[in-house]
Amino acid sequence: MVIDQPFSAAGAQTPPPRSAVTEGRATRVALTVIALLFLAVFLVLPLVIVFLQAFANGVGAYFAALTEPDAVAAIQLTLLVAAIAVPLNLAFGVAAAWAVAKFEFKGKAFLTTLIDLPFSVSPVISGLVYVLLFGSQSLLGPWLAAHGVQILFAVPGIVLATIFVTFPFVARELIPLMEEQGTADEEAALSLGASGWQTFLRVTLPNVKWGLLYGVLLCNARAMGEFGAVSVVSGHIRGLTNTMPLQVEILYNEYNFAGAFAVASLLALLALVTLIIKTILEFRYGDALSGSTGH
């Protein structure tokens, strides 16, 4: 706690008592200013510029850019990809977290590391993996072509790449939470006669709901915003395989700044909304966690 005490009257030899972990006023001000400046230059300013640029040609141009067919297609595709990737990763994340946190098995540490892999691999590599796997030069390529299955440069490829990139979010969020909570609650539910499914729905899931929501939110933000991996597998076909980030890039490269920033502003808005919900969740979820400690 910071205790600011005015210096006592003349003759005060000793400085006022100060908490051992508190810095002097000057240091505090300097640190705060540096942090704020940094935030302003690197985070707030770019965000402001995105919106300024988006509305540079007026509100009419802004909405025109957003309702342009290619932009609409990009928005729809992005929503579709997220709608597929997020629930799949939700299911996977819960299953993986459940397995890692509640059971002991060989190769557990390896699985945990593997879950982190998409975080440590460059998204471009993630995309390339799918090109190597399903491309025409690959082993599967000719077979897929023969059966008329189009994965690369089509929606399935984009979905796969997105799933790969966003796959750690939910699991990473849940594993520490579930590990901390242990298995006593589940055992208690089982001993009271609940089935495995009832235990999961009524005990495990409610115990991790805030963490889960938080993970889904981050997963969704990344799924919609992913550029690198999707860029490699999408083929950049306008109106067909362009997601919003790809659309932004194309428009930008064509010097259509207002259009690029209009689409970009949607992504920025998504980020802001995510941040706000995340903050609210952290508030709630931090509370729920602190309320549960000491059990």
Partner 1 sequence: MIRKSGCRFSEKIMLKQRDRAMDLSIRNVRKEFDRFAALDDVSLDIRSGELIALLGPSGSGKTTLLRLIAGLDHPTGGQIFFGGEDASVKTVQERNIGFVFQSYALFRHMNVLDNIGFGLSVRRGADRMAKAEIARRATELLDLVQLSGLERRYPHQLSGGQRQRVALARAMAIEPSVLLLDEPFGALDAKVRRDLRSWLREIHDATGHTTVFVTHDQDEALELADRVVVMNEGRIEQIGTADDVYDTPNSPFVFGFIGESSSLPIHVEAGQLWFEDRPLGLPAGDAPDGKALLYFRPQEVKLLDGCGGCIAGTVAAGRRVAGTRRLELEVGGHRERVEIEVPASHPAAARSRIAFRPEKWRLFGTPGEAAPSEKVRRISGWPAAVQAGEGSSAARR
Binding site for partner 1 (CB under 8 A): 182, 184-185, 187-195, 198, 202-203, 206-207, 209, 288, 291-292, 294-295
Least distance CB 109 / partner 1 (angstroms): 17
Least distance CB 113 / partner 1 (angstroms): 23
Least distance CB 183 / partner 1 (angstroms): 9
Nearer Cβ to partner 1 (199/241): 199
Least distance CB 295 / partner 1 (angstroms): 6
CB 277, CB 216: distance < 8 Å = no
Least distance CB 192 / partner 1 (angstroms): 3
Least distance CB 292 / partner 1 (angstroms): 4
Least distance CB 11 / partner 1 (angstroms): 49
Least distance CB 98 / partner 1 (angstroms): 17
Radius of gyration of the chain (CA): 25
Nearer Cβ to partner 1 (147/295): 295
Nearer Cβ to partner 1 (116/187): 187
Nearer Cβ to partner 1 (155/288): 288
Nearer Cβ to partner 1 (254/287): 287
- Distance of alpha carbon 266 from alpha carbon 55, whole angstroms: 12
Report the b/e string of 254-270 with b at 16+ CB within 10 A: eeeebbbbbbbbbbbeb
Nearer Cβ to partner 1 (70/185): 185
- Distance of alpha carbon 196 from alpha carbon 101, whole angstroms: 16
Nearer Cβ to partner 1 (92/200): 200
- Distance of alpha carbon 204 from alpha carbon 97, whole angstroms: 11
Nearer Cβ to partner 1 (150/195): 195
